[in-house]
Chain A
Amino acid sequence: MPSRDVAIVGFAQSASVRREASRNEVEMLMPILQEAKRQAGLRGRDIGVTVSGSCDYLAGQPFAFVSALDAVGAWPPIVESHVEMDGAWALYEAWVKLQTGEADSALVYAFGKSSMGDLPEVLTIQLDPYTTAPLWPDAVSLAALQARAYLEKTGTSERDLAEVAFRSRRAAAANPKAQVRTSADAETLLATPYLVSPLRAHDCPPISDGCAAIVLACGDAVKKSAMTPVWIRGIDHRIEAHALGVRDLTTSPSTKLAGEKAGVGKGRVDLAELHAPFTHQELILREALGLGAGVDVNPSGGALAANPMMVAGLVRIGEAAARLAGGAGKRAVAHATSGPCLQQNLVCVLERD
């Protein structure tokens, strides 16, 4: 278990929009990084380590993540690392670095502009390149395979899925950073046509451009924070097989295990931010994490209301922390996913003093 207590002391995110047509990634990131550092009370030179998460396939440029460092200020040279994953995994790497004692503060950021390419096609090329990707199954179709298996096995109805969408979108009405902020009732949603059966448009996330940043701190660095510190009490991530055919898509054993290792069950959970881009995935994740009816799930609206790729997982951690800091509860669970059909999952337990 961790030897150093690490706190989230700053969180900022851009509004999620369908198309950020005028600003490039650096221009999008700069105000977000400034705001997160302002909350943390840290200047650029004070930051011990910087870790980012993004995907060059979204930008269509090799080493796009290196260009993004212009937003950070990397001269004289800084300690920096990058993961070709959601920023939640960048946060994990930063947390490990803080555990080593080599740094007392970390800047974590993530960005994704899906609008520059065709997102469903871009996501296809994360699949096995020999037998799966050449068939071009898109992300929604793969999620639909999972949804069908889940509905048939559990008896969950399409109405239950519509209720998840309705609740998420209604919650997002209070979140100015969200993209889908209104919803018809479940009855009306159910009358809309299938996108890929059994999924309708409301079962799927919007395509979003956006970015976010979190500042972590240990020891004396926490005292400079303008934000109420929110402590990371446990964090763990687990991965399942790449080939979809060898997995039981109706459950999420990697989430379950990560949740156990992170200590989700050690106390009462007031709220949870789950990275569930598709409605049925929220139900799978609730079960894997053992979250009962008393837990406020996705008060931000979640990924069904705003889903910037490589960012939405980090935003779950930031949203959960910001809500605790704002007094919405004492203990929260944040979750991030990566890969098709919940292949890889990260769980983080947060507490406020």
Chain B
Amino acid sequence: MSEITNIVTPIRLDYTYTAGHATQRFLLGMAEGRILGQRCPECAKVYVPPRGACPKCGVPTTDEVEVTGKGTVTTFCIVRIPSDVLSVPPPFTCAHVLLDGADLPFFALIQECDFDAVRMGMRVEAVWAPKAELAATFESIRYFRPIDEPDAPYETYKEHL
């Protein structure tokens, strides 16, 4: 008699995700080509994208703040491993971008930039989808590209690494 080493019991569960008030505001902003964050009333940090709470203070972030698409690369990596779920073929550059006026860097693609030119402190700007293609998704920002500005000094972003 052969030993049973494996059984297959398929499980599939479907969910309807609730973005929440804060993320909903952010996503609706994306559809208008605007970047909306929220400021903590206690520590004054600005979260982009906002989640409705300051994770540091544990209080609701109610003040809405609009920031521009300009920011600083705080850290980066170059992805060379292929995967079915990637929307861009490797190699490509992924970075943490800290938008001016925000206190939370987020993950973003860097393009229009040679791999050996990307660096910490590099100044970048958002490249938006064409107006007709703007939608309530983070993908309304296609990627970030370098801008002709001096690098941000390390002290200005060291808190956000």
- Supposing A118-B13, A121-B13, A133-B9 touch, asked if A73 and B20 sit within 8 A by C-beta, the answer is no
Task: Flag if B19 contacts A70 (CB, 8 Å).
Answer: no
From A31, A34, A117, A129, contact of B15 by CB (8 A): A117
Residues B55 and A24 in contact, CB atoms below 8 Å apart: no
Find out whether the CB atom of B20 lies under 8 angstroms from the CB atom of A23.
Answer: yes
A27 touches B52 (CB 8 A): yes
B15 lies within 8 A of A24 (CB): no
Query: Is the Cβ of A130 less than 8 Å from the Cβ of B56?
Result: no
B60 and A30: CB pair below 8 A? yes
> A72-B58, A118-B14 are known contacts. Are A26 and B9 too (CB-CB below 8 A)?
no
Whether B11 and A125, one on each chain, are in contact in the complex, defined by CB atoms closer than 8 angstroms, is yes
Measured CA separation A73–B11 after assembly (Å)? 35
Residue from A116, A118, A125, A129 in contact with B18 in the complex, judged by beta carbons closer than 8 Å: A116
The residue on A at minimum CB distance from B11 is A125
- Size range of the chain A interface in the assembly: 35 or more
A256, chain B: closest CB distance, angstroms = 35
Q: How many A-B residue pairs have CB under 8 A?
A: 86
Query: From residue 48 to 62 of chain B, which have CB atoms closer than 8 A to chain A?
Result: 51-60
Given contacts A30-B60, A57-B13, A70-B58, is CB(A22)–CB(B7) below 8 Å?
A: no
A34 vs B55: C-alpha distance in the bound complex, in angstroms?
14
Question: Which of B21-29, B73-81, B118-126, B132-140 interfaces with chain A?
Answer: B21-29
B17 within 8 A of A: yes
Most buried by A among B13, B17, B21, B58: B58
Shortest beta-carbon distance from A59 to chain B in Å: 7
Instruction: Say whether B13 contacts A33, CB under 8 Å.
Output: no
A26 near B53: Cβ-Cβ < 8 Å:
yes
Which A residues lie within 8 Å of B59 (CB)? 30, 34, 73
